[in-house]
Amino acid sequence: MKHRIVVLGAGYAGAFAAGNLARRLSPADTEITVVNAAPDFVERMRLHQLASGQDLASRELADVFAGTGVRLRLARVTGIDPEHRSVAVTGEDGDGEVAYDTLLYALGSSVAHHDVPGAAECAFDVAGRSSALRLRERLAGLGGGGTVVVVGEGLTGIETATELAESRPGLSIALAARGELGAWLSPKARRHLRGAFDRLGVTVHEHTAVAAVEPTRVITADGRSVPADVTVWSAGFAVHPMAAAAGLEVSGTGRIVVDSSMRSVSHPDVYAAGDSAYAIGENSRPLPMSCASAGLTNMRATAAIIARLTGGEVPATGLKYFGNHISLGRRDAIFQMVDGDVRSKSWFLGGRTAARLKSGVLKGADWGIAHPTFGLPKRRQRLAPAPGRTAARAAA
């Protein structure tokens, strides 16, 4: 019987991982299935562009995986049973189960409202394609004017505020930051960021925690009222509690605790990648939820899976976070390198050159999704004999 590898989620981490596994493992020994709720790949790094009114080309996952040997199951994951190595799903065909021998959990994250009153009911977000389109429709309904408050000074908040300001100059854009804008950046990069906000006319409310969201305003922790025809919530992300409910060891935020090979510390048949993984980097700190982390963790997970199945040596290199790349509209950006302690280095790249670099990163990611197996190599690895694995599956 073939070894069944199931990948949950077809975002950046899941799609790249499935393609890499299909490229390197022989189809004579393995069966790779990707489970994803939506039929299209979502370019999450560009959803702020979609919300601003720009059109993004859609890419169907059926076309992405055509000819690769990867099976696509369009369904929503509703539960995991690690004891019996099965995943419960529901889709157009009703409820069902997908059995696995090795599971790669890459379901990503969604917006975190942090129990702020009104945030879930009244605010918009760009954490998913449907929510970005909902925001786009609302902005279009404002006509030529209106006020928009973006809550959150992280990468998503900065990119959303500047994209909206550039694409929709008739709107009055403001950003509510709990601390200082760009506090983690180097001094020169921080000045560049502030210059971009000034150039685009984005108002910044620093040291402003939002305590409540209402249809036409946000209420700050100190009782002030900030007018907002539209509130965009970008104050963090959260993972689904499914992993915790399944009995996997998770962090306080619900992310799956993994070792250096992205293997669950509680269930050796389960791996995690992307935002779902609680992975510790070389600096002894957890990797942040980001596309960069998705790349690091999916490569580490697939390398470990392949090594263990084929009898190879699991790579022992560290997980190093290199920095942040922040879009400031279409013609400006910041690329900030960090040191081993994730402190910003004094050098940074900004302006059009950084914007072209970011555009290249996005195009490279898009090409990789369109060619998940990079054309399939002439030689793919066979699985090492493992009688114990077959016996364990028969008993499951």
Residue 37 carries which side chain, given as an amino acid letter?
A: A
Q: Residue 282: pLDDT above 60?
A: yes
For the residues 9-14, what does the mean pLDDT come to?
Answer: 94
Q: Give me the percent of the chain exceeding a pLDDT of 70.
A: 95
Q: Residue 10: pLDDT above 60?
A: yes
**281-290: long-range contacts at Cβ-Cβ below 8 A with a sequence spacing of 24 or more?**
281/318, 281/319, 281/320, 281/321, 282/318, 282/319, 282/320, 282/340, 283/321, 283/340, 283/341, 283/342, 285/342, 286/251, 286/255, 287/319, 287/321, 288/321, 289/109, 289/237, 290/155, 290/324
Q: Which of 54-63, 229-238, 371-380 has the lowest mean pLDDT?
A: 371-380
- Give the pLDDT score at 376: 59
Q: Residue 344: pLDDT above 90?
A: no
Measured over the CA atoms of residue 318, residue 314, residue 388 and residue 30, the dihedral's sign is: positive
- Give the pLDDT score at 379: 54
Q: Residue 153: pLDDT above 90?
A: yes
Band (pLDDT 50/70/90 cuts) for residue 377 is low
Q: Residue 6: pLDDT above 90?
A: yes
Band (pLDDT 50/70/90 cuts) for residue 392 is very low
**Digit-coded pLDDT (tens) for 21-45:** 999 999 999 999 999 999 999 999 9
Structure tokens at 250: 């998770």
Q: What integer best gives the mean pLDDT of the chain?
A: 92
Q: Give me the percent of the chain exceeding a pLDDT of 90.
A: 79
Cα–Cα distance measured from residue 154 to residue 182, given in angstroms and rounded to the nearest whole number? 8
- Give the pLDDT score at 215: 97
- Give the pLDDT score at 281: 86
> 100 vs 382, which has greater pLDDT?
100
- Give the pLDDT score at 375: 59
Structure tokens at 311: 């009898």
**Digit-coded pLDDT (tens) for 162-174:** 999 999 999 999 9
Cα–Cα distance measured from residue 203 to residue 241, given in angstroms and rounded to the nearest whole number? 36
Task: Tell me which range, 139-153, 192-206, 325-339, is most confidently predicted by mean pLDDT.
Answer: 192-206
Cα–Cα distance measured from residue 319 to residue 365, given in angstroms and rounded to the nearest whole number? 20
The model scores a pTM over 0.85? yes
**Digit-coded pLDDT (tens) for 43-55:** 999 999 999 999 9
CB 103 within 8 A of CB 85: yes
Band (pLDDT 50/70/90 cuts) for residue 294 is confident
For the residues 360-376, what does the mean pLDDT come to?
Answer: 83
User: Maximum Cα–Cα distance for the chain, whole Å?
Assistant: 68
